[in-house]
Amino acid sequence: MFPVEDVLAGNRLALARLLTAIENDTPAGRAALSALFPHAGRAHLIGVTGAPGTGKSSLVNRLAYHYRHPPDGEAPKTVAIVAVDPSSPFSGGAVLGDRVRMRDLTGDQGVFIRSMASRGSLGGLARMTAGVVQAFDAAGYEIVLIETVGAGQAEVDIARLAHTTLVVEAPGLGDDIQAIKAGILEIADILVINKADRPGVENTERALRNMLNLAHPLPRVYRHHGALQEVLPAVAEAPADEAIWIPPIQKTIATRGDGVPELAAEIARHRTHLEASGDWERRWRARLQRELEDLLQDALVHRWRREIPPNYYEDVFSQLVQRQISPRQAVDALLNGGREA
């Protein structure tokens, strides 16, 4: 059994070993995650996603520094950083670069940085990331920053882990907004235009605002019997005021730290909104339900595989290929496990 008590007590070496066990999906790692589960659920999980090179790592670094050295009157928060790099099978160049950018944080016992690379399927990476995040949460880290390159479904899945998702844009990546291309704009709780020192910021901002107006139309106003009336959503689906969140746009210059305190304030405002609207609870419920259903599916398929006779699947499949049976009949036969009906 893994020394879960040591992890809970804040032992960094024990935590590092646990993270490796989780990444390797060992039985001990799985058991430890179960033992840690009751202790998780308190951290604010913040996803940071966006096209390559927009400045996500620089921003994560600055945000972490901000949480460790808050303005007067605020208590510092402990921070875990999970840098997910699905493109590199090993901890490659990008991650090495991240380490250099994170040097302001090294030696700080209140910060833990973990880089993760894909060892196989992206789906596996998403699950691994969820485990690692849960371990940080249980170990008492108050803020968990999860950096992913926003380029596809796997990254979106990883971003779904988060309570608050930042989508990072930068001017000068071409006229198109990268997030729109990648389809990740819809998961944004906060839009960040980083590299605000670069030319083209106004264009990027205008494009994002247009997108936002399409996605979150304000109540339309039209003339009815000569009077101006608001067209409101149907009562049944009308959200309470605090349930409406329109993603703000925050400009930053990560290399200098400009806009970072304002960004941290927007993140805090989003958390307050989540709690007030009930979304905080809805999101973790949805997350747990997804996890439960994924695991259940895996377990059922696994159990079923063990119970059917050897070669039975292949036999049924070849009958299907020869059109002796239909796909539905094949499923019936397979679930029947080779026993006579």
Ligand X SMILES: Nc1nc2c(ncn2[C@@H]2O[C@H](COP(=O)(O)OP(=O)(O)OP(=O)(O)O)[C@@H](O)[C@H]2O)c(=O)[nH]1
Angle at 332 between CA 327 and CA 334, to 5 degrees: 90
Task: Please state, as a whole number, how many other Cβ atoms lie within 10 Å of the Cβ of residue 239.
Answer: 10
Query: Which option in Mg ion, ligand X, none does residue 277 bind, with CB closer than 5 to 8 A by kind?
Result: none
Estimate to the nearest angstrom the gap between the alpha carbon of 223 and the chain centroid.
43
Asked if 194 is part of the footprint of Mg ion (rule: CB under 5 A), the reply reads no
* Residue 76 near residue 110, CB atoms below 8 Å: yes
Cα–Cα nearest to 330, from 302, 339, 318, 340: 318
Q: How far is the CB of 270 from ligand X (least distance, A)?
A: 21
Range in contact with ligand X (rule: CB under 6 A) among 25-33, 56-64, 221-229, 324-332: 56-64
Range in contact with ligand X (rule: CB under 6 A) among 20-28, 192-200, 264-272, 329-337: 192-200
* Residue 198 near residue 170, CB atoms below 8 Å: yes
Q: Which of residues 53-72 bind Mg ion (CB under 5 A)?
A: 56-57
Cα–Cα nearest to 163, from 66, 321, 271: 271
Cα–Cα nearest to 149, from 63, 84, 243: 84
Cα–Cα nearest to 28, from 38, 37, 16, 18: 18
Q: How far apart are CA 79 and CA 70, in angstroms?
A: 12
Biggest alpha carbon–alpha carbon distance for the chain: 77
Q: How far is the CB of 182 from ligand X (least distance, A)?
A: 12
Rg of the chain over Cα atoms, rounded to whole angstroms, equals: 24
Q: How far is the CB of 58 from Mg ion (least distance, A)?
A: 8
226 by DSSP, 3-state: which? coil
Asked if 250 is part of the footprint of ligand X (rule: CB under 6 A), the reply reads no
Range in contact with ligand X (rule: CB under 6 A) among 53-61, 174-182, 218-226, 322-330: 53-61
Query: Is the Cβ of residue 91 or residue 277 nearer to ligand X in the bound state?
Result: 91
Q: How far is the CB of 182 from Mg ion (least distance, A)?
A: 15
Query: Is the Cβ of residue 198 or residue 273 nearer to ligand X in the bound state?
Result: 198
Query: Is the Cβ of residue 57 or residue 118 nearer to Mg ion in the bound state?
Result: 57
- # chain residues binding ligand X, by CB under 6 A: 18
Secondary structure letter of residue 278 according to DSSP = T
Q: How far apart are CA 281 and CA 285, in angstroms?
A: 6
Q: How far is the CB of 135 from ligand X (least distance, A)?
A: 23
Among 17, 44, 56, 251, binds ligand X (CB under 6 A): 56
Query: Is the Cβ of residue 57 or residue 164 nearer to ligand X in the bound state?
Result: 57
Per-residue contact string for residues 31-50; x = within reach of ligand X by CB under 6 A: --------------------
* Residue 98 near residue 115, CB atoms below 8 Å: yes
Among 15, 23, 36, 54, binds ligand X (CB under 6 A): 54
Q: How far is the CB of 110 from ligand X (least distance, A)?
A: 21
Residues of this chain that interact with ligand X (CB under 6 A) are 52-58, 94, 97, 101, 149, 194-195, 197-198, 253-255
Chain contacts with Mg ion (rule: CB under 5 A):
56-57
